[in-house]
Structure 1
Amino acid sequence: MWSSWAFFLVAVGVASGRPSKPTDGSYDFGYEHDAYGAHPLTVFKSAAELEVPKLDVLQHSKLCESSLYTLLTPRGGATRKPQTTILDSNGDLIWTSEWNGQQLYNLMVQEYKGEKYLTFWAGNDAVGGHGAGTIIMLDKTYTLFKEVRAAYGLDADLHDFRITESGTALITVYEIVQRDLTEVGKNHIGPVWDCLIQEIDLETGVAVFQWRALDHWNLVDTYKEIGGDGEGDRAYDFFHMNSIDKDARGNYLTSSRYMHALTYIDGTTGEVIWILGGKRNMFRDLSNGTATNFAYQHDARWSGNDTITIFDNGVDDVHRDIADTRGLKLKIDEQNMTVEVVTEYFNPHKIHGISQGSFQSLSNGNVLLGYGNSAAFTEFASNGDVLCDTHFGPESRFGSAEVQSYRVYKYEWHGWPRTTPSSALRINSARSWNFFVSWNGATEVSKWILQGSNSSNATEEEWRELNRTKRTGFETAFEIRKSYPSFLRAVAVHSEGHMLGRSEPLDVQAIKDELQYTYGFNFTDDEVWIAQIALACGGVLGIGALLRMGIIAWNTRRKAYQRVSTEDS
């Protein structure tokens, strides 16, 4: 009776709008219109504490870079907790973590003294549109290697942290200073956010270079209206630095969101060499204005000796529709002071990235754009053709800041966690008991071996192999047979055949008894969802009666089970 009831409720659930994924993978209408909520999630049986964005792949090509992992930092009003997250090319989880309840930004893989580290910013991001915190460096075991701070008692800002080849780090820093505000319409001295570049020696924490925007830019050069800023404790963010890059000549390139400009700075004297874009633009635009009309831009980097890449937002919170967001590759001629567009990169849905965003040039020639405030990232061929387009939140919510990631990047990474694999017993949709196993952060697992024993304290020799399978995504399942012994565990195996780690033993019968006692009889995850759909549709004719029948059957089975348990005891 339960099977037919469940089938009927599945049909009602589909009719009620729970969508299925299109077979061509092009567009999940339900996903993009909140059928899974504002923050669609993937959850796991073996690691119930983990939850990561569920992706909707709108467009896919084999030409996309599949050998690298995707790094992002999901956060926003619809997310329960900010996290650093690494996904593989299929969207399966590799690693995710919180950090002391802090906001998290800018997850990257960077090299220091020949070793790879995960780096990200952690702190308070509610400080006038930027942040006050520190930079975290984790080694390949996900252990804290360094916590990097800004110099002179200031806080590290969230916008950028780049390790140089010489073993120093570039950090953006914000500091409130008092300035005469007459030129921007105020008749008093008031607070202004000055923007600093600090280059920090990672060994000593000492600043080897510092540059201040207010020493070289005037308040009147900004496009940001002062409004009520500059009054009381409301500092005026006139410049808003969001990226720093250092070239082989030892000079710095920085992006200013509110100047609509890039500033190229002498690495010895700190003097401005040239300015590209904005009110003080020094370049002749050979592309009819499209090379210098970028606005509210982010993530400006050198890409070779004469090429600069930019994530050109084109819009902000106040001016949401004045332009289409684009990736922009520019060719600079510093001798003749000319600039021209090499390539523009537009999302096929014309996303307006009203804040944040990233542009990454990949080693295979592709370009990856992350859309910041909008939960999307797109990979392009070098000529601007769209290859892969992915959402990690519904498009209907873009611009709401409910799900976002400051940047999205791709990197190679090898993780060797010091934790042990996690495991759990659950019933699948075929009503069979399964053993589920996963290992957060472990990139080198090739196979899982299921082992069994009649004792949790068995010696290694007493654990015998029951089954083995290739690692499939983040979480791998083994079907449990009646002939299996009482205790089960999983062993993670490297591609070269050696053991990487093993899960703690599970007492199969004890877990079954606990689950059956709790639920009366064995609900699968899908059947729980069906019951929830039925409850939501209780006003539909007949659903309430059918649901009541199911509940009566459930309670009858539960009471019968409890009676048998009592008699057996």
Structure 2
Amino acid sequence: MAADAPNIFVFSTFSGYKIKCNNIEVQSGDTVEVMIDKGYLKKSDGIEIEFTNKKSGLVTKQFVRCLNEGFPEFITINNGAEYGYYYFDPTQDWIVKMNTNSEIIYFNYCEDNFYDFKPIETKNGELYYSYLTPYSDPDEKIKVVTNSFTECKAVIMNSNYQVVKEILGTLDEDGKFTNIELDMHEFLMFDEMNYITLSYIPTYVDNIPEKLTGRGGYPSRVYAAYIQEVRDGKVAFEWKSTDYPEFYDMSVEGNQFDFTNEGWCDYIHINSIDICPNDGNLVLSMRHADSVVEIDRKTGDIVWILGGKHDMFKLKEEEKFTRQHFARFTDSGTLTLFDNSTNYVVSSAENYIGNGTGFPRTIEFSLDEREKTILDYKSYDYKVKQSEVMGSSQKLADDIFLIGWGASMEVPSKILFSEIDFISQKVLFEASNKSGVNVTYRVHKFHR
């Protein structure tokens, strides 16, 4: 349901009744667009459907609730946040657009989870929305040869929240969907005919250095990260992590290459992709390498590595990060990331390894990419011990960031996201989940 776009009601064949929807008489097969006059959605409001029995004249009324009865309740505070709209996925069963007045503008529900709901404004000013979600209908699901962490499709909606396109998987050389599905960590769209996807393919490889396997030349099972860019229905670029053996040695988690792990080695775990504004290359956040890596968008070669065991920028101790998410360039060209600063190991019986502090933070780098040096570095700290996994950090203005807190196993929290002025340490806006703990993949704020 939406408060800023028409809601579409389709009436099937009926007989014996006259029906009005929102005081508009409808006929069998009619499609009716209903706008919410109030401009936001409430559980106590509904769209009236009136039924009049043609024979008896008896009138009955029913209401379509504007806000689902099971919709989560939020506790919010606003201490002077600039007006805008937050896009997020509380508990991941819902996607929500909420304004800084705490009014719900749009929502959708899915039993199979949502990831990364966000608006997309194309170069010509068109507005779209996108999200990633698992396949709800088994019959539409592609026969899978992958074992992706969460096998998803990308859904694209127009400005009225109507689905205009679904990306069911990667494409082959003929522009047809393959049986390689998308992963839930990233989907970038530039316009309806140009987008980038991320997938993971279980792969047997024999190019892992012997020192890492103890079995020279013997194949190991790994997840190959696979990135594909599509333009005008054709594959314009593709990249597979297993073509670059140096990533094996960079791994700090998911690297049981000697088969001591019965599954597949999630050895780099790419969790975000962005475009470098200087050269148009791809910049990847590799959680299990504690690294951010730029790869050439034409050749696929590694351009630079920031952080981790193969760091090229000679980071100082306080500049290092662990298990980071959401590496993004700002309008001014700096690179920000959400440093989970955790040593939590998802796939291991051991709880923690490494040197993370346990307190997540936002880091902002100004990079000299040619000389591989740090021109400027800022750490934005907010002493909340949570967020071993997931999370995001969006720069809104100087020293003001929107933090999506991800999820925590050690110290569960109800806080979904916080907009913080880090100079004053003032929380400008915050939303918490009243009835449950925080699980939010990412949060975005925009002005439309």
TM-score (norm. length: structure 2): 0.70
1:65 maps to which residue? 82
CA positional deviation for 1:124: 6.2
- Pair 1:177-2:203 in alignment: yes
Give the equivalent residue in structure 1 for 2:28. Answer: none
Partner of 1:302: 329
* Alpha-carbon distance between aligned partners in 2 of 1:87 and 1:343, rounded to the nearest angstrom: 30
The amino acid across from 1:109 in the alignment is: P
Q: 1:190 is aligned with what amino acid? A: S
- 2:391/2:405 contact within 8 Å kept: yes
* Partners of 1:195 and 1:132 in 2: CA distance: 13
Distance 2:147 2:424 in 1: 35
Contact 1:229 1:235 in 2 (8 A): no
Q: Does 1:194 align with 2:211?
A: no
Helix, strand or coil: the match of 1:218?
helix
Q: 2:17 maps to which residue?
A: none
Structure 2 unaligned runs (5+)?
1-41, 47-64, 137-145, 173-177, 346-350, 409-414
Alpha-carbon displacement from aligned partner over 1:390-431 (angstroms, at most 9, x marks no partner)? 242369x7xxxx541100111233xxxxxxxxxxxxxxxxxx
Kept in 1: contact 2:225–2:242 (CA 8 A): yes
Aligned 8 A contact 1:376 1:389 in 2: no
Supply the AA of the counterpart residue of 1:337: K
Q: What is the SS of the residue equivalent to 2:242?
A: helix
Q: 1:327 aligns with which of 354, 362, 369?
A: 362
Distance 1:193 1:225, change over 3 A: closer
Cα offset, 1:278, TM superposition: 0.4
One of 338, 347, 364 as aligned partner of 1:311? 338
Look up the match of 2:21.
Answer: none
Q: Helix, strand or coil for the counterpart of 1:91?
A: coil
Partner of 1:407: 442
Q: Deviation of residue 365 (structure 1)?
A: 6.8
The alpha-carbon distance between structure 1 residues 310 and 409, as it changes in their structure 2 partners (threshold 3 A), is same
Q: Note closer, same or farther for the CA distance 1:173–1:129 as it changes in structure 2 (3 Å cut).
A: closer
Q: 1:275 Cα deviation (Å)?
A: 0.4
Q: Residues 391, 88 of structure 1: CA spacing in aligned structure 2 closer, same or farther, 3 A cutoff?
A: closer
* 2:402 paired with 1:372: no
- Aligned CA distance change for structure 1 residues 86 and 165 (closer, same or farther; 3 Å): closer
Which structure is higher in strand share? 2
| Deviation string, structure 1 residues 326-363 (Cα, Å, up to 9, x no partner) | 01111112243212553322335x13211111111226
For these two proteins, the number of residue pairs brought into alignment is 351
Alignment of 1:121-200 (within 5 A): 121-123=132-134, 130-148=149-167, 149-152=169-172, 153=178, 154-164=180-190, 168-180=194-206, 182-185=210-213, 187=215, 188-200=218-230
- Normalized against structure 1, the TM-score is what? 0.56
Q: Distance in 2 between matches of 1:84 and 1:325?
A: 24
Cα-Cα RMSD: 3.0
Q: For residues 155-188 of structure 1, what are the alpha-carbon distances to aligned partners after superposition, in whole Å with 9 as ceiling and x for unaligned?
A: 1111111223795212221111102465434645
1:236 alignment partner AA? C
Alpha-carbon distance in 1 for matches of 2:427, 2:399: 12
Which of 239, 247, 252 in structure 2 is aligned with 1:223?
252
Is structure 2 residue 120 aligned with structure 1 residue 110?
Answer: yes
Distance 2:331 2:78 in 1: 29
Q: State the AA in 2 paired with 1:151.
A: L
In structure 2, the partner of 1:381 is: 421
What amino acid sits opposite 1:386 in the alignment?
A: K
Q: Which amino acid aligns with 2:105?
A: I
Q: CA deviation at 1:92?
A: 2.3
- Matched AA of 2:352: H
Secondary structure at the counterpart of residue 249 of structure 2: helix
SS at the partner of 1:156?
coil
The aligned runs of 1:5-44 (5 Å cut-off) are 43-44=43-44
- 1:542-557 map, 5 Å: none
Structure exhibiting the larger radius of gyration computed from Cα positions: 1
Asked if the contact 1:192/1:230 (under 8 Å) is kept, the reply is: no
Partner of 1:234: 263
**1:75 maps onto 2:95 in alignment:** no
**Match for residue 554 of structure 1?**
none
Deviation of residue 83 (structure 1)?
Answer: 1.2
Kept after mapping to 2: 8 A contact 1:191/1:231: no
Match of 2:130 in 1: 119
Show the counterpart of 1:208: 236
Which secondary structure state, in structure 2, belongs to the residue aligned with residue 158 of structure 1?
coil
Aligned partner of 2:276 in structure 1 is 247
The Cα of 1:304 is off from its aligned counterpart by: 4.5
Measure the CA separation in 2 of the matches of 1:342 and 1:166: 36
Query: Alpha carbons of 1:306 and 1:403: their partners in 2 closer, same or farther (altered >3 Å)?
Result: closer
Percent identity between matched residues is 22
What are the Cα deviations for residues 259-310 of structure 1, in whole angstroms up to 9, with x where unaligned?
000111112211111100000000133xx4222x101001101224651000
Residue 284 of structure 1 aligns to a residue whose secondary structure is coil
Question: Partner residue of 1:337?
Answer: 372
Aligned residue type for 1:54: E
- In 2, Cα distance between equivalents of 1:347 and 1:184: 38
- Alpha carbons of structure 1 residues 338 and 243: separation in structure 2 relative to 1, 3 Å: same
